[in-house]
């Protein structure tokens, strides 16, 4: 079976969308948790920065795990 010329491009696009979703989602979740802590618990304003950076860091870690998974899986070469 021939390999599609689009397979590498589609794989790169999938990894890029994963990067955007993980980093953006982690940062937004961190900022929202910080906002809840500030609004409802009376924590200082800097809690938004700290939790946002924590969410960003967790997003980067999840991107690292996903990229390692993609890079370590073998190509689907079916040679007969």
Among left, alpha and beta (phi > 0; psi -120 to 50; other), residue 42 is: left
- Span 42-56, mean pLDDT? 95
Q: What is the pLDDT of residues 9-33, one digit of tens each?
A: 888 888 899 999 999 999 999 999 9
Supply the pLDDT for residue 79: 47
In this prediction, residue 76 carries a pLDDT of 58
pLDDT above 90: percentage of residues in the chain: 60
Asked if the model's pLDDT at residue 56 lies above 80, the reply is yes
- pLDDT tier at 67 (50, 70, 90 boundaries)? confident
Please report which residue ranges of the chain form alpha helices under DSSP H. 7-41, 46-72
- Average pLDDT of span 44-62: 96
pLDDT of residue 20: 95
Query: So where are the chain's domains?
Result: 16-71
């Amino acid at each position: 079976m021939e390999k599609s010329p689009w397979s590498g491009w589609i794989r790169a696009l999938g990894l890029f969308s994963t990067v955007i979703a993980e980093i953006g989602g982690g940062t937004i979740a961190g900022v929202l948790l910080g906002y809840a802590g500030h609004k409802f618990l009376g924590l200082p304003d800097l809690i938004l920065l700290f939790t946002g950076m924590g969410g960003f860091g967790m997003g980067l870690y999840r991107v690292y795990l996903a990229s390692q998974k993609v890079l370590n899986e073998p190509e689907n070469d079916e040679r007969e």
